[in-house]
Amino acid sequence: MAGKKVKVVDKWKAKKWYSVKAPAMFESREICEVVAAEENLLVNRVVKASLMELGMTGGGSQMAMFTALRFRIKDVTGNDANTTLLGHEILPSFIRTFARRGKSLIHQVVDEKTKDNEQLRLKIIAVTGARVSENTKRNLRTLIVDECKGAVAEKNFDEIIQDVIYGRLSSKIFNRLKQITKMKRVEVRKSERGEIFK
């Protein structure tokens, strides 16, 4: 007696392609395409893209190439997976090029809430034009914290994160620090949005 035939279901054919969209601050551009059997499987997935890949150079094509953005899929509408921005990071390989003999590197982490009550963590690197004393480093760190906290507290998340990504906050900090000592460079190397999962 012949065995009962079992119908084989091609799971791949049951899956659908979705276009992952960046938030409105990036003109809702497509980040990538992903495939899933059910749209709820996409929610909370994290995707990455560089500013260059999004075509958002902001006048600095070199920095756009080295600036990676992290997004989390928050919901799905039709074939579009909508995202929220989690933060950015300047690639460590690029940050390493800042280290030069005869200069001081200052790292500072700043936590502050935005005007719309979003928690934001900023990681700053500052490079002086020459070696400086520990006292000068302390003064520079104090100014970095003051500038960051003031800038974050007075703006909504979408506003301040664009200042961060496109270097406007870095320029503001740089101009403040150079009043104390000669500066080579200041960058917000990483930003992280505080998340609460319910």
Confidence of residue 43 (pLDDT cuts 50, 70, 90): very high
Answer whether residue 98 is part of any domain: yes
Query: What's the confidence (pLDDT) of residue 153?
Result: 97
- Planar angle of CA 101, 64, 100, nearest 5 degrees: 0
Structurally, the chain folds into a number of domains equal to 2
> What's the pTM?
0.87
How far apart are the C-alpha atoms of 88 and 70, rounded to whole Å? 6
pLDDT tens-digit readout, 52-110: 988 876 555 678 889 999 999 999 999 999 999 999 999 999 998 888 888 999 999 99
Chain centroid to CA 193: 9
Residue 158 is classified by DSSP as H
Backbone angles phi, psi at 140, to 5 degrees: -65, -40
Q: Check whether residue 85 and residue 99 sit in a common domain.
A: no
184 closest CA partner among 114, 110, 112, 130: 130
Are 55 and 114 part of one and the same domain? no
CB neighbourhood size of 61 (10 A): 10
Mean pLDDT in residue range 2-17: 65
Say if residue 96 is in the same domain as residue 172.
Answer: yes
Residue 9 in domain? no
> How many Å separate Cα 21 from the centre of its chain?
16
Residue closest to 106 by CA, chosen among 186, 34, 164, 169: 186
154 and 81 assigned to the same domain: no
pLDDT higher than 80, residue 140: yes
Question: Which CATH number goes with the domain that contains 150?
Answer: 3.30.479.30
Residue range 30-52: mean pLDDT, rounded: 92
Q: State how beta strands 119-128 and 183-193 pair.
A: antiparallel
| 133 shares a domain with 44 | no
Read off the DSSP letter of residue 130: S
| C-alpha distance from residue 66 to each of 92, 119, 135, 194 (Å) | 9, 25, 32, 23
144 occurs within a structural domain: yes
What is the C-alpha to C-alpha distance for residues 28 and 135, in angstroms, rounded to an integer? Answer: 46
Q: SS3 of 138, please? A: helix
Could you tell me the residue range of the domain that residue 77 belongs to? 16-90
Is residue 67 one of the residues assigned to a domain? yes
The H-or-E segment that residue 163 falls in is helix 157-165
